[in-house]
């Protein structure tokens, strides 16, 4: 016991303090340490659960974002297809309009040519009739009197002038 005395320790007090320390450790372990550990475990499990929920929500958000992007791309593709179809329809309508306009123009030209030909034929017929009339008038005048070349030319010129005046009057 000399060592305890040299250190100034009472072995009886040391034993009681050691016993008190062990009881304190037991009580702390039973009343504080295990509940604190349980609380830490519960908190850790809540944090893990929250992290898992956050991860799941992030994954759902990514899936939703990808779904949105896919839908947006499909909508763009559909819009592009609609615009392309509209452009094709407009092109076909334009081509049909040009074809119709060309057909109408050709029909108008054909009618105009027919009208011109009809009017030319009528003018030629009228001219033939007038020439025949002039020839008959000239022949009648020639027969009524005998003419020399100068008189015949003068009568033809007069008949032509009368015909021109009659044509202008009509």
- Give the residue numbers spanning the domain of 160: 2-169
Residue 134 pLDDT: 75
pLDDT tens sequence for the chain (170 residues): 577 778 888 888 889 999 999 999 998 888 888 888 888 999 999 999 999 999 999 999 999 999 999 999 999 999 999 999 999 999 999 999 999 999 999 999 999 999 999 998 888 778 777 776 777 777 776 666 555 667 767 777 787 777 777 766 66
pTM of the complete model beyond 0.75: no
Q: 10: alpha, beta or left, given left = phi > 0 and alpha = psi -120 to 50?
A: beta
Residue 142 pLDDT: 62
How many domains is the chain built from? 1
Residue 141 pLDDT: 67
Residue 113 pLDDT: 94
């Amino acid at each position: 016991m000399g060592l305890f005395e040299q250190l100034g320790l009472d072995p009886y007090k040391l034993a009681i303090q050691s016993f008190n320390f062990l009881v304190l450790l037991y009580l702390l372990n039973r009343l504080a340490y295990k509940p604190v550990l349980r609380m830490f475990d519960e908190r850790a499990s809540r944090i893990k659960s929250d992290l898992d929920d956050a991860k799941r929500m992030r994954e759902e958000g990514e899936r939703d974002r990808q779904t949105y992007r896919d839908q947006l791309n499909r909508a763009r593709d559909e819009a592009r297809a609609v615009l392309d179809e509209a452009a094709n329809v407009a092109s076909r309508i334009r081509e049909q309009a040009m074809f119709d306009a060309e057909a109408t123009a050709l029909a108008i030209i054909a009618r105009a040519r027919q009208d011109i030909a009809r009017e030319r034929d009528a003018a030629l017929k009228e001219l033939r009739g007038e020439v025949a009339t002039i020839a008959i008038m000239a022949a009648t005048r020639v027969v009524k009197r005998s003419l020399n070349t100068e008189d015949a030319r003068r009568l033809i010129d007069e008949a032509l002038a009368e015909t021109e005046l009659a044509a202008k009057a009509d």
